[in-house]
Amino acid sequence: MRLILRFFGILFSAGAVLFCVGAVVAGYFYWKYSQDLPDHAALANYEPPVMTRVHAADGSLLAEYARERRLYLPIQAMPKIVVAAFLSAEDKNFYKHGGIDPEGIVRAALTNAKSGKRQGASTITQQVAKNFLLSSEQTFDRKIREALVALRIEAAYSKDKILELYLNEIFLGTIVPGRNLHGVAAAALDYFGKSVHELTINEAAYLAALPKGPNNYHPYRKTQAALDRRNEIIRLMRENGYITREEEENAKKQPLGVNPRVAFANASNANYFTEEVRREISERYGEKKLYEGGLSVRTTLDPKMQGWARKALVDGLVRYDQARGWHGPVTHVDLGGRDWGQAASEVPALGDVAPWRLAVVLGSGAGGIQVGLQPRREASGQFSKDRDTGVITPDGMRWAGRPNLRPGDMVYVEPMEGGRNQFRLRQRPEVSGAIVAMDPNTGRVHAMVGGFSYDESEFNRATQAMRQPGSSFKPIVYSAALDNGYTPSSIVLDTPITIEAGPGQEAWTPSNYDGKSGGPHTLRYGIEHSKNLMTVRLAKDVGMPLIAEYARRFGVYDDMLPVLPMSLGAGETTVMRMVTAYSMLANGGRRIRPTLIDRIQDRVGETIYRHDNRKCIGCDAEKWSGQDEPKLVDDSEQVLDPLTAYQMVSIMEGVVQRGTATILKQIGKPLAGKTGTTNDAKDAWFVGFSPDLAVGIYIGFDKPRSLGDRATGGGLSAPIALDFLKQALKDKPPTPFRVPPGIKLIRVNLGSGTRAGSGEGAGTILEAFKPGTAPPDAYVPPANSAPAAAAAPDADAAAQAGGVY
């Protein structure tokens, strides 16, 4: 008995010693590896990089900006089927263990011993520790540190918080080149084109397969491996009690069903717009906030209006370009002994010119030119093996004369309406241009197109191209005159004038577009028919320093040189600035700030920017108690007398009714505007507006050269405005421009500007006059070409009516 007791005593003592030694060793290792462990408390305030999303005014998605594409989703909003799939695939005992799973370690060891395949035993908590706080190096030291950090995380955070971090951080591959997906919400959108809440069992199981290595289960390159791993996870989901056997069998029968979301519905139409938004956000908040801040940006873009604007501009550019003939094919490819589809797919095609398609010429026949369409790119990124052919009909290439096309030439074609496999020949226009559509009352930009194709050129001609506005600047000159004593009936001479320059400089002799002069005319006539000589005389009398100040007020130029040629639009400005200036005329002379952004919210939904800064008096009342209704107070600066603004609008309505933009009369709605053509016809403009919509168009070559001897803003840009406004105003009532209090509408003779007699009907209009002014009762023609004053009923009226200049 004594020997037995001694034996157990020795065993106990040895055990105690071993325990103590083990404890000391464990304590030492714990102390060693606990040194410099990352602070797990940082997870409490962790804000993962989240992508910024840009929306149109109707809420549709326009663009996303991110280095890591992630949409953060709280665990409470995470679908149960997704949680079940990831727990089954990665850590079925997650809600049971304390950060390290002994059962999982044993299971992994046995599996590795049996099959020879390496299976990990890291828990979700350990993966959180590795992904957030440690490196991914495969060393023994790192694994120990990972386990220690996991234990600390488990002690500090709830299981749901740990799972939330994991499901939003985990890397799930790249299905569309350049878009690294982090978190299940972003992955669901890119892999399946749907919200995470819409995922089926088989789709959730496939996403749960990806953390082991996205490239190992790529849906196109490793399809069978992906199916096998997905089905294994579906089986595990059933074994763990998340789904029934019937659901398991049905889910396994489904294909992978990957359907990448490669583009947004309005993206190709709005590339110039969204790039301008991206640039503005970057300048305002910095690159880090843009790509990682999770901003929600609501823009002012109207997708329908944007589509109409783009089509109108492209049609106008193509119309001009085709009238100048065929330039030749895009390029030539060798078809000798090759699949023509493969040859065609090697040529880069513009991706934003639909419905145009790039095609290769295969031959010719009596029915036209045989072409093979460039194969479409499939979701996998590879070109389709399908081959589609068609014919460019004689009608479809009549505009090009007899283009010398040979097999292997690459050309653009467009399907003909109603013609099966029949196409029109197209070519990229050499000319370019821009269009901007804006709400004149708020400055909200509804549409903006900066060129023919963003894929071809990212240069935004609406905001970056500095071009001479030509005669479209004249309303600024005439506004300054109307604001300083002139009336629409004031007489100005349309006769030759020479401006003497300084010593050693040549005198300047301006001329009208047609090279003719027409004697004395009303101020209204000078705008309606765009008379340069009248404008220069008017500017000389008003004074260029004053006109330069008005140009600054309207935002056309920041610091205009006060010389007379500038009165004819010789300075350089942008389409955006011109549309903004005209909007201030349309809205009664109030300053507006053009904007592409309505509001910006941060990642938690707080509004950090809002364009509309009007104050609402009474909007914060909890309930109605008989008080006055709420009022929006607009304290924006008045840059022009409202009465002057209306006079200018009325005169510019005449441009559409009788002047250089009569093509717009057919719209049948109240419209005002002005055309513009620069020297040598290098730029062609139209800027105009209805009471609720302003639009500006310019056409010109990027390297300025003449558009042609007969090119004008009325002939090139106004038809584009017509195409756009027909659509944009189609369902709008014919609302007249608002007449401000104080304006007197007096019927006058259109030619002379004098008060119309009681018997006069034809040739008269209602003219707008300010208080204290009136049209003259009679007109005395000048004698011997000497300046003559227009008669008026009294001295004050004569002074206000203005003399001859």
**Residues identified as active-site:** 90, 471
| Rounded (10°) CA dihedral 443, 446, 451, 457 | 90
Residue 518, helix vs strand vs coil: coil
Residue 161, helix vs strand vs coil: helix
Tell me if 791 sits within 8 A of 798, measured CB to CB: yes
Q: What are 241-246's contacts with CB under 8 Å, separation 24+?
A: 242/81, 242/84, 242/85, 242/88, 243/84, 243/201
Dihedral pair phi/psi, residue 524, rounded to 5°: -55, -45
Can you state the percent helix, strand and coil of the chain, rounding each to 5? Answer: 40, 15, 45
Please tell me the number of Cα atoms within 13 Å of 177 on its side-chain side.
4
d(CA 452, CA 437): 16
Q: Residue 101: name the closest of 125, 118, 136 by CA.
A: 125
Q: What are 110-117's contacts with CB under 8 Å, separation 24+?
A: none
d(CA 13, CA 20): 10
Beta bridge partners of 746: 767
d(CA 123, CA 135): 16
Q: Where are the beta strands (DSSP E) in 90-233?
A: none
d(CA 496, CA 753): 22
Tell me if 489 sits within 8 A of 803, measured CB to CB: no
d(CA 484, CA 474): 16
C-alpha angle 94-100-102 in degrees, rounded to nearest 5:
95
- Distances from the Cα of 519 to the Cα of 232, 293, 775, 784, 798, angstroms: 92, 64, 19, 12, 20
Q: Residue 175: name the closest of 206, 224, 229, 214 by CA.
A: 214
Tell me if 272 sits within 8 A of 460, measured CB to CB: yes
d(CA 538, CA 534): 6
d(CA 741, CA 743): 6
Beta bridge partners of 433: 699
Tell me if 171 sits within 8 A of 182, measured CB to CB: yes
d(CA 440, CA 673): 13
Tell me if 212 sits within 8 A of 179, measured CB to CB: no
Parallel, antiparallel, or unpaired for β 296-299 and 52-55?
parallel
Which pair of tokens denotes residue 53? 């999303």
Dihedral pair phi/psi, residue 187, rounded to 5°: -65, -40
Given its phi and psi angles, is residue 178 left (phi above 0), alpha (psi -120 to 50 degrees) or beta? left
